[in-house]
Structure 1
Amino acid sequence: MNVAAVLSCALLLAIWGLPWSDWLGHFPAHMIRHMGLVAVVAPLIVLGFPRLADPLALSPLAGAVLEFLVVWGFHLPVLHEAAMASSVVFIIEQALFLIVGLVVWAGCLRTGGLAGAGGLLLTSMHMTLLGALLTLSPRVIYALDHAGALQEQQLGGMLMLAIGTPIYLIAGLWLVARSLEDTKDEMA
């Protein structure tokens, strides 16, 4: 087993096994799990278990659109609150986050080049927008009925920005650099 495979398994255990809500509150814990799955664990699984990821390698644009629909869908108050209230909906949410993360990373890394970079940069843009909306909202969006709920939501948004934005952006720029290097080698 390679390093990426071991790290992905260890991080999955940490994401789902540690009491994040006790430490950070509900919404920041949600974002640690969400961003951990789509931006950290998913690329590690793609790199660590390539045969598992190959069937999920859709086009980068299709992957970005699927992830957009799942991520924004589960951040609508009705679905987010359903996941808070029901273990079954929570498991579905977490599974879908991981699956669409795998689809994005498998498609982008397998395709590579500018198309792969475009998929990651598009994903970065919609994740950044959602993180900014959560951080800058002047009111609580979700049914968090306790003191400090707005600060908890804003911390969750900041975690989304701090984890997702740089990972997708750096990976996208890395694919651009590789593409440019390949073009340069072809011209030589």
Structure 2
Amino acid sequence: MTGATLDRRHSGLLARFGPLGSAVLLLALLWGGPLPERAEGSFAAHMVMHMGVVALAAPLAAFGLARAFPGLVRRVPGRFALLAALAEFLLVWGWHAPALHDAARQSLSLLLLEQASFLAAGLFVWLTAFGAAADGNRTEARAAGAAGLLVTSMHMTLLGALLLLAPRALYACAQLCTPFSTLTAHEDQQLGGVLMLAIGGSAYLVGGLVLLAGLLNDRRAGGGLASSGHSRP
């Protein structure tokens, strides 16, 4: 086997499995780095970890799975996108309820459960979106994929705004933990809300708009083909 052949094979493997490997590396940095310890005392650090999982690692992992195992991802029903969005809504808002959030910041087992559920929900949403995008023959599935991402963007934006605009710190852990030394507990929570708005809301919004734009372009192209077909003698 020649060196050129080996290089091509290596490049092909890197292109196929590189994104998935990058997602695994990102998760290792998020969960194995300093963030989990910092999250015990800072809502903003907790939000960096949360957004890193659902808005960065999950779409990267879904993209990586689509590159590594395209046949598998194409079989993910795009029509489940709204169900995936509902599941993520329930998990994200549930884990941000004061009692559960405070408990997760003080219990390693609950933190692990929280983070695993965030990753599972994020993967569910993004895999249905990629599955819908790969389904070129079903307009309904692709529309559902776009709607799932846009709905998720809306509820993350709403939660981020609630955290940002709340007149006081919402969590008892603000009195038990020590936030960043330069911030009060309320300011730390507000920073977390800004991070959710800027990262979570934006990532899902961009994904939904890309899917929607592709769907509209396909429909315009289909309409153009139909018109040219009718004009033929």
**Whole-Å Cα distance in 2 between the matches of residues 62 and 39 of structure 1?**
18
Counterpart residue number, 1:128: 157
Report whether the alignment pairs 1:117 with 2:146.
Answer: yes
Could you tell me which runs of 5 or more consecutive residues in structure 2 were left unpaired when the two chains were aligned: 1-13, 134-141, 226-233
Give the Å deviation of 1:115. Answer: 1.3
Q: Map of 1:63-74 to 2, 5 A cutoff? A: 63-74=84-95
Give the Å deviation of 1:6. Answer: 2.6
Larger Rg: 2
Counterpart residue number, 1:10: 25
1:85 paired residue among 102, 106, 127: 106
Give the Å deviation of 1:62. Answer: 0.2
Give the Å deviation of 1:152. Answer: 0.5
Question: 4+ residue runs of structure 1 moved beyond 6 angstroms?
Answer: none
**Whole-Å Cα distance in 1 between the matches of residues 190 and 76 of structure 2?**
33
Give RMSD over aligned pairs. Answer: 2.2
SS in 1 for 2:105: helix
Q: Identity over the aligned pairs, expressed in percent? A: 46
Report whether the alignment pairs 1:174 with 2:210.
Answer: yes
Report whether the alignment pairs 1:49 with 2:65.
Answer: yes
**Whole-Å Cα distance in 1 between the matches of residues 159 and 94 of structure 2?**
11
Give the Å deviation of 1:3. Answer: 3.3
**Whole-Å Cα distance in 2 between the matches of residues 24 and 91 of structure 1?**
13
**Whole-Å Cα distance in 2 between the matches of residues 18 and 86 of structure 1?**
18
**Whole-Å Cα distance in 2 between the matches of residues 167 and 22 of structure 1?**
24
- After superposition, give the CA deviation of every residue in 1:16-65 in whole Å (9 maximum; x if it has no partner): 12213549952111111111111111111111123497487571110000
Could you tell me which runs of 5 or more consecutive residues in structure 1 were left unpaired when the two chains were aligned: none
Give the Å deviation of 1:107. Answer: 1.0
1:61 paired residue among 75, 82, 85: 82
- Opposite residue 102 of structure 2, the aligned amino acid is E
Shift in alpha-carbon separation, 1:24–1:135, aligned structure 2, 3 A: farther
